[in-house]
Amino acid sequence: MNLSDLVHVPLNTGVFYALPFLLALTVIVFIHELGHFLVARWCGVDVEAFSIGFGREIFGWNDRYGTRWKVAWLPLGGYVRFRGDANAASMPDAEALERAKSEPGNFHGKPVWQRAAVVAAGPVANFILAIAIFAGAFMLVGKPVIEPRVDEVLAGSAAEAAGIRKGDMIVSVDGGAIADFADLQQAVMSRAGEPLAVIVERSGERLNLTVTPQLREEPDNFGGKIRIGLLGIKRDPMGPVRYERMGPVKALEAGVSSTWFIVRSTFSYLGKLFTGRESPDQLGGPIAMAKAAGDAASMGFSQFVRMIAFLSVSIGLLNLFPIPMLDGGHLVYYAVEAVRGRPLGEKAQEWGFRIGFSLVIMLMVVGTWNDLVRVATVWFGG
């Protein structure tokens, strides 16, 4: 069965978007938690539970090391619980801290570098998954290559103001080589309002131009808008597209590059958000992610797998944010412990987790509110 069969349903409610989304999320969560699990085992930590989902267990089994592997009713995440943890967020049990050093398998009795390695392994596994997916796609399917030739210059656009003409070939942007249209889009989409040095080839000559991408709002196919930098040039949609397969080494390099582009774009957006140059209305919640996964699945297996890679990077990056309760918050605690020579006090950690929980809930509320506004826009107009 093609994944598109799951989403080609004559309903506008989006209910069936949940199926591809839950499948993608399950894969991503499993790999994330497997990263924690494998490094924990390598460090000699006893793993009490490996759960996909939260809440009551649907089914599960115990392995020979005593780990309970289970699937729970709420499939919106997962966790690995180590010996000494008080809960799924890996907060230390107060009593367990007292006896941690005398228990070889207690997570909280391990050296700080081992605890940090275990915590960092989850997000790192997400990045590895994304790199592997991108690299595999480049080897098996190939990278779509569209010649960066200008077929049309829009009136009043940044390209027209800079002197770019129909027929020009874009050679480089700000010193970065442009091999195809995808490279060009990546080079300008997050650079709105910034003057860029562009080299174009025209009638066998290379010309140096300066172009400032214009900030434009483009529809995100769900009633919302995304703000990106645009030059105002078009290519012929019927123009030739070739797929360039890569060898393992080159595909791996391209996979790392694709993953890094997602990370860089995310930080660019966040930087502009904190400086007031971007709006939080571009943040999405579970509905937006389900919509994206469903749309990708409707376009075929290859596109769906690429969406898994994108979501994997996003979730791995989110978990590295220095927010107590997330992996990044734990890493901050361990950094403080390494500097001080002792962990933060129980009260400080407890308040940190409370603040972190509040921040996570706030992000979820903002993302979900934006989703609901987009749904309302689609359904009721306006």
- Catalytically active residues, by annotation: 33
Residues 6 or more apart whose CB falls under 8 angstroms from that of 365 comprise: none
Residues 6 or more apart whose CB falls under 8 angstroms from that of 293 comprise: 17, 20, 21, 23, 24, 304, 307, 311
How far does Cα 22 stand from its chain's mean position? 16
Q: How far is Cα 307 from Cα 107, in angstroms, rounded to an integer?
A: 34
- How far CA 20 is from CA of 5, 12, 72, 79, 258, in Å, comes to 10, 16, 18, 21, 23
Q: Quick one: angle between helices 286-298 and 301-319, nearest 10?
A: 150
Four-point Cα dihedral 333, 337, 339, 342, nearest 10: 160
- How far CA 147 is from CA of 167, 198, 239, in Å, comes to 11, 16, 9
Q: How far is Cα 230 from Cα 85, in angstroms, rounded to an integer?
A: 49
Compute the half-sphere exposure of residue 214: CA atoms within 13 Å on the CB side of its CA: 15
Residues 6 or more apart whose CB falls under 8 angstroms from that of 264 comprise: 190
Long-range contacts of 182-191 (CB under 8 A, 24+ apart): 182/144, 182/146, 183/148, 184/148, 184/231, 186/261, 188/213, 188/229, 188/230, 188/231, 189/213, 189/228, 189/229, 189/230, 189/265, 190/228, 190/229, 190/264, 190/265, 190/268, 190/269, 191/229
